[in-house]
Amino acid sequence: MKMNLSEIAKAVSAQNNIDDYDNVTITSVAFDSRNLKPGALFIPLSGNQDGHQFIDSARQNGAVATLWMQDHANAPTDFPTLIVKDSLAALQTLSRYYLNKINPQVVAVTGSNGKTTTKDMIASVLATQFNVTKTHANFNNEIGVPITVLSMEANTEVLVVEMGMDRPGQLDFLSRLVHPDVAIITMIGEAHIEFFGTRDKIADAKVEILNGLREDGVFIYDGDEPLLVQRAKQANFKELTFGRNGTNDIYPTKINDHANQISFITNKWKDYSFTIPLPGEYNVNNALAAIIVGDLFQVRPESIRHGLANVAMTANRTEWVAGNQGEMILSDVYNSNPTAVKEVLRTFIDVNTNGKRIAVLGDMLELGAQSKAMHAGLAPSFDSDEIQQVFLIGSDMKALADQLATQYDSTALHYYPVTDLSQLIIDLQATIKPDDIVLLKASHGIHLEKVLAILTNHS
């Protein structure tokens, strides 16, 4: 990004005399005063803390200008300042202006599981042929998507943007903000069911991603999901599907799942074997979505294969890392829901080891009134002969612990309230041996990344 501050002022209809700002160049935007680059426009947002309180910190860290909401007194007089009615709305308006200015093709990705992995795969595939910008980390909401847009370099040809949601209307807004050329729904699960009540209503909210899709846009989705198939019939867009069934536009004809990677062949290119550097057969669907996008953008099959094989994954998604004692750790500490846990447990059980399999699971958050039942419902995924040690933490994981008490004795089943993470770590360290493999899986609010840091000596 590189824009003159006077241009920004006009774009967001700032109530300022901008004559003095013609020589101020903005090269980035940031809402966190601690993490910005020199040349940044600071965006003070009102939340748990009011960003206007941190203008001095922003200036010290390199901000060259700031927005300021008109209902806040004491606007800076010795610093380039744009007065706006609402700083978040101004950020969103600026991102829309900049997106139109750069005019890349936009690929939007959502889904209950797999959207970040799919976003990374799509970006890697397209980057073999185009200049690509993708969503950083989990910048996928009303703040993060505009920040992603404004992070584009002027030569960006394709923007791959991840879109999250936790309430109805959110994807409608984000889709209309960026007007994607391609919209992808990876799958419908139970994530955020606390706010929606049923998977059917989750599906309704997910298809809001189509509300801003351009008239000649393409809708790509999991064709094995009846909830999406039903809703696709009501959409007036070109549709392409992926999945395991032969009725889809692309599906795998052969899959070889290994501990650290998966290779597969599809119906589309029978002479090409694609490989992704990720465990878990469930990641094949994410790769299939990326292949469809690559083919849609006329990327050559060999380049698609290269992009998938060399994908740079967003941190804290499913990955194998080495522990201090020689154990291998399958880490997925960013988010969790019943579908994802069952899939990763299947992957974990399929990995050969000369030691024990140790599963460490934390609460799956935002499951609402059904939460305890959904936690207890994980019990059939466990077998004491396949997973020898189980560590559970969180209030709703108690329901699973109660279910597993008939399969595991007290030396193999360990339950902790969420406040006892430190004790879990101590007990886990005492249990692990060099040949063991360990699974870490929980919603981010349980903070199993702290366990990972200590087990890998990064604390």
Cα 20–chain centre separation: 41
The strand ranges marked E within 197-312 are 218-222, 238-242, 252-257, 262-266, 273-276
Q: Is 441 annotated as a binding residue?
A: no
Residue 155 neighbours by CB distance under 10 Å: 10
Q: Is 81 annotated as a binding residue?
A: no
Residues with Cβ within 8 Å of 260's Cβ and at least 6 positions away in sequence, in order, are 277, 278, 279, 320
For residue 139, which of 125, 152, 130 has the smallest C-alpha distance? Answer: 152
- Which run of H or of E encompasses 193? helix 193-196
Q: Which residues pair with 257 in a beta bridge?
A: 262
Residues with Cβ within 8 Å of 228's Cβ and at least 6 positions away in sequence, in order, are 185, 188, 203, 206, 207, 221, 222
For residue 14, which of 81, 75, 71, 63 has the smallest C-alpha distance? Answer: 81
Q: Is 275 annotated as a binding residue?
A: no
Q: Is 111 annotated as a binding residue?
A: yes
Q: What is the layout of strands, in order, in the sheet containing 218-222?
A: 132-134, 158-162, 105-110, 182-185, 218-222, 238-242
Q: Is 114 annotated as a binding residue?
A: yes
Residues with Cβ within 8 Å of 200's Cβ and at least 6 positions away in sequence, in order, are 227
Could you give the dihedral angle defined by the CA atoms of residues 133, 100, 67 and 172, in that order, rounded to the nearest 10 degrees?
A: -80
- Binding residue ranges: 111-117
- Binding residue ranges for ATP: 111-117
